[in-house]
Amino acid sequence: MAIDDNIIVTIELGSSRITAIAGHKQPDGAINVLAHVQKKSDSFIRKGRINNINKTVQCIHDIKEHLEKKLQKSITRVYVGVGGMGLHSVRNSVTRHLGEKTQITEDIVRNLLDSNRTMPGNDREILEVIPQKYILGAQETDDAVGISSESIEGQFLNIVASASVNQDIRDCFSQKGIGIAGIPISHCALADTILSEPEKRSGCVFVDMGAETTSVAVYRNNLLRHLAIIPLGGASINRDLCSLQIEDEEAESLKRQYGSAYRENTEGHAPIVLQDGRTVSFEDFSGLVEARMEEIILNINNQIALSGYDKSQLIGGLIVAGGAACMKDTDKAFLKYTGFEKMRFVKNIRQQVRVEGKAQGNFNADGSYNTAIALIDKCELNCCGAELGTETVDIFGNNMAGNEIPVSKPSTGGVTGLQNNGEHTPSVSGEAGGQAVSDNSLTENEQEVVQKQKGPGAFTKMWRKFSEVARKVVADEEPIINEEEKKEKK
């Protein structure tokens, strides 16, 4: 399949807006954005989770129409990034006693991974598994295959989320006839396009401060070690300001104009004049803003402590992104409440982006498309079907553009693959992971395999049945042979 034909569609379910991008990767590694759209979602998405299914379905419909009109292609499936409240990491270990000294094989490691995925559910779904290390006797390693030992212990970091929340996502897209190509973790995808290899290797904390949630990820030795979603963000400050009898939109505007995450002195400031002519004390206003920012940052610091790493082990420092981090003096607040002196604030990702083949210009100037772009960089499968007006229909007149056929797709290595309905399953390099794929996203060789898997269609089977009956009833006539049977006899 040509690069230009492999169009990836990603959707981020944000608490303030739903962001969607259709684009493809170019040979030089850049992302070429072909279509993009944002829709407000604060009335039906709460803390990154679907709160009103009907409104979400309508928004998905509008987004699909907008992208298809721009692309002039049907959209059959999408990648949906998740990062809402409840998403977090859980450590787990699995031990196998082998009885005698045995060389560790890929099968033994795979069995450990499979056992790890049977950890207690409690309505939790494992989205991704990151092996932390393997312990073989007194030896620790990140690659156990080929080493001899009498026992092996695998330590894993499982990224889990509510199974019912993810089912809501699948149901919403299913209602509009859109398949789910995968459900990647938004925060991890964004981290991969913002953090440098030295930062991940030496240890760092990546913080993404959104409208209603704040994501915290700790990296060390190039591996994710801890992930948590704090249900607090910039919108939490707005709600606090509403206690001063200020409307939400005005609260957002005043926060941007006067808000400070940490102000040493509030004396001598004139009162703030509101749109209706009333005034509020600058001290009262600042006190609400700073108190909430303090709470958010203290929660971030607590998650760093829960990771098991301290500042001396995270010499890459703090890397902070997200709209809520744009408030004045946020760096001073982080310094006071976390003690990290080394930090950098990021507005845009390192990924080179073009819009319809040209320099991105003002597109994504505020960084609001960062996560959707990062998801495109992480994903692979084509999400588009036929050109509009040329969709394939079956003999009953039904549109077949959205039909998906499960086929096996080789993994690119690592331990996490995507399977039907966007679920994640561990795999070892070289193993195949099932994936829901539509005909129009496959190469010629893959299509040939799918056709073999499909077998004869329902109409062909029915015709053969009629032929068999005819042979029995009309015994003195020449057997009826259809064109399919002629080919088979040849």
22-48: pLDDT as tens digits: 999 999 999 999 999 999 999 999 999
Q: Which two tokens stand for residue 364?
A: 């994504």
CA distances from 204 to 307, 319, 321, 352, 489 (A): 11, 7, 14, 23, 67
Mean pLDDT of 181-194: 96
pLDDT at 113 over 70: yes
Query: What is the per-residue pLDDT for 441?
Result: 42
pLDDT at 467 over 80: no
Better pLDDT: 77 or 407? 77
Q: Which CATH superfamily groups domain 3-84+164-190+351-451?
A: ATPase, nucleotide binding domain (3.30.420.40)
| pTM for the full predicted model | 0.78
Considering the segment(s) 88-161 as one domain, its CATH architecture is: 2-Layer Sandwich (3.30)
Mean pLDDT of 298-320: 97
Query: What is the per-residue pLDDT for 394?
Result: 54
Predicted confidence band of residue 429 (pLDDT cuts 50, 70, 90): very low
d(CA 242, CA 236): 10
Query: What is the per-residue pLDDT for 316?
Result: 98
Which range, 208-217, 398-407, 418-427, has the best average confidence (pLDDT)? 208-217
Helix or strand run (H / E) with residue 175: helix 163-175
Mean pLDDT of 168-195: 96
Least confidently predicted of 99-113, 127-141, 209-223, 399-413? 399-413
Tell me the per-residue pLDDT of 118-138, one tens digit each, with 9 for 90 and over.
Answer: 876 778 899 999 999 999 999
pLDDT at 157 over 90: yes
Which DSSP category does 269 fall into?
Answer: P
**Do 197-345 and 88-161 fall under one CATH topology?**
no
Predicted confidence band of residue 357 (pLDDT cuts 50, 70, 90): confident
Which DSSP category does 328 fall into?
Answer: B
Q: Which two tokens stand for residue 214?
A: 């704040």
Assigned CATH class of 197-345:
alpha beta
d(CA 173, CA 132): 34
Give the start-to-end residue ranges of the domains of the chain. Answer: 3-84+164-190+351-451, 88-161, 197-345, 458-489
Helix or strand run (H / E) with residue 362: none
Query: What is the per-residue pLDDT for 74?
Result: 96
Which DSSP category does 342 fall into?
Answer: -
